[in-house]
Amino acid sequence: MLEYNTIYLDYNMNDKVIFSGVQPSGEIHIGNYLGAISQFVDYQTDYKSIFSIVDLHAITVWQDSEALRNSTREVLAIFLASGLDESKNIIFNQSQVPEHTQLSWILSCTAKVGWLNRMTQFKDKAGKNKENASVGLYTYPILMAADILLYSASHVPVGDDQKQHLELARDIAHKFNTDYSENIFVMPEPLMNKSTTRIMSLRDGSNKMSKSDISEYSRILMTDSNDKIALKIKKAKTDPLKMPNTLKESESRLEVNNLLNIYSACALMKKEEVISKYASKEISLFKNDLTEVIINKVEPISIKTKQLLTDKVHLDNILSMGATKAKEISCKTIAKVYDKIGMINK
Ligand code: TYM
């Protein structure tokens, strides 16, 4: 796999293009928000930004059609409620721009089976039942590469779980450029926020917070009520010790460390400051304050999301406008690629 530099938040921003995607499968949790969506909001003024609700990725596992439609609108509503501006950015659902699947096929002729076989997310998701997983789940990272390369994205804000897929996108771009002796595709770099790049489950600090975890107490949803948030934090797994005194001590205590990361990100406070504020205090006291800082972050987004969801026509119009703008860019890439590989396309 090709090496890349992981770029952190203090990166010098100069006219770069961002692309990122969120699946409308299951409900958006605070890991998605802190690891990805809040970053989208931070970058939207300095980057030309394109954000997609990747519904074609969602159907790699079966989805109820009504639930998929609702979930697509809900992700859009959460984007907007979090502060993404549809007039400054391109926001659309992937299936309205067919160039994603067109490029995906072409790139599947560039990517190697061996490269896909290394993808850990497929192994995790397919589990022991690999033979029964959909082919789409296996080739999913190629569609993701197409998403990114279609828009010549230079930077991709994602959580740590997507790093390997991004490396694959770089490998595919590099091979295509080499095969056709021209730099058709831009090599994308990940953008990650160190402390929130992997928010862990509230029930098990060694597993990431995930939409598909069977326990609803493993995650805080962006639409959870205040009472639900309080209950989930109360039940969050910790250890019998008091709060840590140092960063090093915190890092050796998975569950507490995860809660400190969440606190620090929600309160916009340096983690060291949070550690010194609560050093040697009872965990229950910290949990009470943590509940409050999470509610301060989630409640306004949740209220706005619910308001936005009352006007489906407005939301669908935003997606369709975004798709029109996205097509203007993606059509040009497809024309360039078709020409390069020898397709007659008048
Ligand atoms: P998805 O829908 O699983 O997750 C959306 C974003 O949330 C991040 N994320 C997390 N960040 C921190 N802690 C966590 N526990 C956590 N869980 C999820 C993900 O890293 C992601 O940034 N394959 C992608 C969607 C995609 C995409 C793309 C992303 C499709 N095409 C092109 C970027 C560029 C996915 O399944 O994300």
Residue 79 CA to ligand 1 center (angstroms) comes to: 14
Q: Residues lining ligand 1, judged by CB closer than 6 Å?
A: 19-23, 31-32, 35-36, 54, 57, 144, 147-148, 156, 158-159, 161-162, 165, 196-199, 208-209
Return the closest-CA partner of residue 228 out of 64, 17, 48, 30. 30
pLDDT of 108 higher than 70? yes
Report all structural domains of the chain as residue ranges with CATH numbers, in order of start.
2-198+311-341 (3.40.50.620), 216-305 (1.10.240.10)
Q: Say how many Å lie between the CA of residue 162 and the centre of ligand 1.
A: 6
- Let me know if 130 is a catalytic residue: no
* Active site (annotated) includes residue 304: no
pLDDT exceeds cutoff 60 at 85: yes
Residue 89's pLDDT is 95
Q: Which residues contact 207 (CB under 8 A, 6 or more apart)?
A: 200, 201, 213, 218
pTM, to two decimals: 0.94
Cα–Cα distances in angstroms (integers) from residue 17 to residues 42, 150, 298, in the given order = 14, 11, 28
pLDDT, mean of residues 218-223: 98
C-alpha distance from residue 258 to each of 106, 139, 247, 331 (Å): 41, 32, 12, 43
| pLDDT recorded at residue 13 | 43
pLDDT at 253: 97
- Identify the pLDDT of residue 16: 86
Is 257's pLDDT higher than 80? yes
Average pLDDT over residues 79-90: 96
| Average confidence (pLDDT) over 292-311 | 98
pLDDT bracket for residue 8 (50, 70, 90)? very low
* Residue 128 is a catalytic residue: no
**Nearest protein Cα to ligand 1, atom 29:** 21
Token pair belonging to 319: 């997606």
- Cα–Cα distances in angstroms (integers) from residue 154 to residues 14, 90, 241, 326, in the given order: 11, 16, 45, 16
Residue-level pLDDT at 195: 83
pLDDT tier, 194 (very low <50, low <70, confident <90, very high otherwise):
confident
What's the CA gap between 267 and 117, in Å, rounded? 40
Give percent of the chain above pLDDT 70: 96
Specify the pLDDT at position 15: 58
Q: Which residues contact 175 (CB under 8 A, 6 or more apart)?
A: 110, 111
64, two tokens: 């109820």
